[in-house]
């Protein structure tokens, strides 16, 4: 092939490329546009279906909202009615409160007057209490003095009865001694009557227990100076002071002793009776 032929072939090839390239591009563009159009139709159909669904949903929501609006309107009317009732009740309560305030003011005035009256009465009560206390103190003093006088009278009566009883016994002993002396003088014999033994110091106690056999347990013993053979007087203070007689101690321990009556007693000893070595006036 000649050079010219080669050049011509090269120009023909270039011309073919120049003419074919736009055709290919146009075909490709047209193919892409068809696919895009189909996609667009699909999207439009989907949008249309979605739009219809949205419209149906909006209709439902509109119906529901309309019902809710009606309910809310009914509730609003109800709340307004309740509010009006509450306002009326509040107005009545305010009126009642004003009435109660006026009543409280009157009651406070009465209470203030009553407090003043109470203060006056308390002052009177304090004066009466002071007078009563003074009278009570005087009565207590009188009772104490009366008790002392009664104790003295009881002691004096006991002493009197003990002396009287002792005189009676001494008279009886004197008669017995005279008869004994007369008997001894006629028989030429001699003898002596045992003497009464008293504790060395003044002692006083009470009867703690008695025995059917006549034995008496007393509340004082050897620690107080009471010994076996001692003689103690027995007397009773209540209900009437009485001298009962004498007991002779048979046994003595540090804190108690046991004795038996000497001769015939005015009355059997009882628990609580008093025993003493002497009976003196207060």
Q: By three-state DSSP, how is residue 245 classified?
A: strand
CB 245 within 8 A of CB 218: no
CATH number of the structural domain spanning residue 227: 2.40.10.340
| Non-local CB neighbours of 264 within 8 Å, separated by 6+ positions | 245
**Half-sphere exposure at residue 83, Cβ-oriented, CA atoms within 13 angstroms:** 6
Q: What is the C-alpha separation between 106 and 93, in angstroms, rounded?
A: 20
Q: pLDDT at position 175, please?
A: 59
Distance in angstroms (rounded) separating the CA atoms of residues 157 and 151: 10
Tokens of 137: 């103190």
Contact (CB, 8 A) for 241 and 174: no
Is residue 114 assigned to a domain? no
Indicate whether 209 belongs to any domain. yes
Return the pLDDT at 167.
Answer: 60
Strand partners, 197: 230
Is 224 within 8 Å of 205 (Cβ atoms)? yes
Task: Examine residue 41 and state whether it is found in any structural domain, yes or no.
Answer: no
Contact 184, 191 (CB under 8 A): yes
Instruction: Kindly list the averaged pLDDT for each block of 10 residues, start to end, along the chain of length 282.
Output: 78 80 77 80 86 85 85 89 89 90 89 86 87 88 83 72 63 55 47 61 94 94 94 91 93 96 91 87 44
Q: 227 lies in a domain?
A: yes
Q: Which residues pair with 205 in a beta bridge?
A: 275
Q: What tokens appear for 138 in the block?
A: 């005087």
Per-residue confidence (pLDDT) for residue 170, from 0 to 100? 53
Q: Is 213 within a domain?
A: yes
C-alpha gyration radius of the chain: 69
DSSP class of residue 194 equals P
In the chain, beta strands by DSSP E: 204-210, 216-218, 231-236, 242-252, 257-262, 274-276
Contacts with 91 (C-beta within 8 Å, 6 or more apart), sequence order: none
Question: For residue 249, what are the domain limits?
Answer: 194-282
Q: Into how many domains does the chain fold? A: 1
Whether residue 208 lies inside any domain: the answer is: yes
User: What pLDDT is stored for residue 8 in this prediction?
Assistant: 81
Q: Is 231 inside any structural domain?
A: yes
Specify the pLDDT at position 171: 59
Characterise 142 by phi-psi region: left (phi > 0), alpha (psi -120 to 50), beta (else): alpha
Q: What is the DSSP letter of 274?
A: E
* Residue 150 resides in a domain: no
Burial 163-199 (b: 16+ CB within 10 A, else e): eebeeeeeeeeeeeeeeeeeeeeeeeeeeeeeeeeeb
| 275 DSSP assignment | E
């Amino acid at each position: 092939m000649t050079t010219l032929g080669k050049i011509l072939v090269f120009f023909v090839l270039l011309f073919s490329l120049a003419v074919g390239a736009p055709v290919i591009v146009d075909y490709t563009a047209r193919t892409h546009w068809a696919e895009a159009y189909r996609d667009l139709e699909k999207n439009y159909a989907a949008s249309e279906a979605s739009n219809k669904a949205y419209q149906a949903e909006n209709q439902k929501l509109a119906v529901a909202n309309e019902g809710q609006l009606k309910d809310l309107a009914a509730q609003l009317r109800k709340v307004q009615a309740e509010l009006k009732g509450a306002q009326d009740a509040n107005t009545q309560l305010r009126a009642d409160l004003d009435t109660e305030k006026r009543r409280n003011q009157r009651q406070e005035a009465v209470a203030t007057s009553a407090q003043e009256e109470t203060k006056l009465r308390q002052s009177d009560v304090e004066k009466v209490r002071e007078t009563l206390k003074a009278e009570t103190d005087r009565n207590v003093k009188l009772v104490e003095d009366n008790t002392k006088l009664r104790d003295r009278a009881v002691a004096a009566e006991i002493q009197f009865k003990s002396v009287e009883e002792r005189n009676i016994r001494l008279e009886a002993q004197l008669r017995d001694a005279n008869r004994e002396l007369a008997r001894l003088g006629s028989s030429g014999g001699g003898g002596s009557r045992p003497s009464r033994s008293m504790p060395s110091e003044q002692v006083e106690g009470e009867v703690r227990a008695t025995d059917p056999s006549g034995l008496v347990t007393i509340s004082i013993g050897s620690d107080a100076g009471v010994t076996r053979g001692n003689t103690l007087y027995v007397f009773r203070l209540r209900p009437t002071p009485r001298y009962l007689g004498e007991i002779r101690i048979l046994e003595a321990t540090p804190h108690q002793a046991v004795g038996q009556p000497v001769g015939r007693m005015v009355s059997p000893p009882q628990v609580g009776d008093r025993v003493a070595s002497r009976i003196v006036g207060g």
